[in-house]
């Protein structure tokens, strides 16, 4: 049995920074309640561990409105501008753990909106990162998730269109949607805001999947970047398995294979990846 582990598996720099920020605050604020606005990252195991250390998750704006004190940590995915404004208005201590790549997009869409541009965000409208970006984009903004939506997109105003992307979006799909929009003849500016770590992770995972008998993708079921890794690997290797932890892996499915590839989403802790890798090597 040969096991190939992706070099780019596990925490990306933005996620690593966000998680470390919360643990640092836990050590620092012994007598102050710590909150994260939304789960700090998309990983149930990490969130459970932090909850065990007393960190509470604020899941709605109504919950934030009811808050009077404590420290609120902005999650790695970022939040709309109105959340920052609300925290400032309520004078709640805030620690910003937004990924640097995401913060850059916030700045871009805010500045472009101020110039009168119509913002197009390529991404999943239900994803918290996209919701956050949309909250910096002003009134003229659309989110496009697939080819059908790109074909249907119409801009009635005579203004410049600024296209950005969710940082974890599939790079090839992004290019496809941009091509569809570009053919409409608008004055368009395209900014590829997919983070380098995401593109490298996707390309490496696809390359590994093409050369193995089975592929294991590790990550939370709510993790957008992990879902995209699974889609990429599944196209290259039919025997691709999506798991959150070792408990989800059926070793019997791997008994007849000679090579196994392992990759993981950007919010998957290293200890979970190592546990899967070690058990596959021992038990197969």
From residue 274, alpha-carbon distances to 6, 198, 237, 279 in Å are 12, 21, 22, 8
How far is the C-alpha of 90 from the C-alpha of 112, rounded, in Å?
29
Dist. CA 226–CA 94, nearest whole Å = 29
Residues 6+ apart with CB under 8 A from 193: 101, 104, 105, 108, 164, 165, 166, 167
57/190 Cα distance (integer angstroms): 35
Cα Dmax for the chain: 63
Query: CB–CB of 280/254 below 8 Å?
Result: yes
CA–CA separation, 179 and 142 (whole Å): 16
Q: How many Å is the Cα radius of gyration of the chain?
A: 20
Q: Considering the candidates 129, 152, 204, 274, report the single residue annotated as catalytic.
A: 129
Give the full edge-to-edge strand order of the sheet including 141-144: 141-144, 118-122, 161-165, 188-190
The sign of the torsion formed by the CA atoms of 200, 208, 233, 219 equals negative
DSSP-assigned states of every residue in 187-245: -EEE-----HHHHHHHHHHHHHHHT-SEEEEE--TT-HHHHHHHHHHHHH-SSEEEESS
129 is catalytic: yes
Residues annotated catalytic, as ranges: 129
């Amino acid at each position: 049995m040969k096991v190939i582990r992706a070099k780019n598996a596990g925490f990306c720099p933005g996620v690593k920074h966000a998680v470390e920020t919360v643990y640092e605050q836990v050590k620092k604020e012994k007598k102050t309640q710590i909150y994260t606005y939304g789960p700090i990252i998309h990983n149930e195991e990490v969130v459970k561990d932090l909850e065990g250390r007393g960190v509470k998750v604020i899941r709605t704006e109504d919950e934030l409105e009811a808050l009077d004190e404590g420290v609120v940590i902005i999650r790695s995915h970022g939040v709309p501008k109105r959340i920052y404004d609300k925290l400032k208005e309520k004078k709640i201590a805030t620690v910003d753990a937004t990924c640097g790549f995401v913060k850059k997009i916030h700045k871009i869409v805010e500045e472009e909106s101020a110039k009168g541009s119509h913002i197009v965000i390529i991404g999943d409208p239900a994803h918290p990162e996209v919701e956050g970006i949309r909250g910096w984009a002003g009134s003229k903004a659309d989110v496009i998730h697939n080819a059908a939506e790109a074909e249907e997109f119409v801009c009635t105003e005579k203004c410049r269109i600024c296209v950005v992307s969710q940082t974890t979006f599939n790079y090839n799909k992004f290019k496809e949607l941009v091509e569809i929009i570009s053919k409409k003849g608008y004055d368009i500016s395209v900014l590829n805001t997919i983070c380098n770590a995401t593109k490298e992770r996707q390309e490496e995972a696809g390359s590994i999947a093409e050369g193995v008998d089975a592929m294991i993708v590790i990550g939370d079921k709510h993790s957008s970047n992990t879902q995209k890794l699974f889609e990429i690997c599944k196209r290259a290797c039919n025997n691709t398995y999506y798991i959150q932890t070792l408990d989800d892996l059926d070793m019997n499915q791997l008994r007849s294979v000679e090579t196994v590839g392992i990759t993981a989403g950007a919010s998957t802790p290293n200890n979970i990846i190592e546990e899967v890798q070690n058990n596959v090597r021992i038990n197969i």
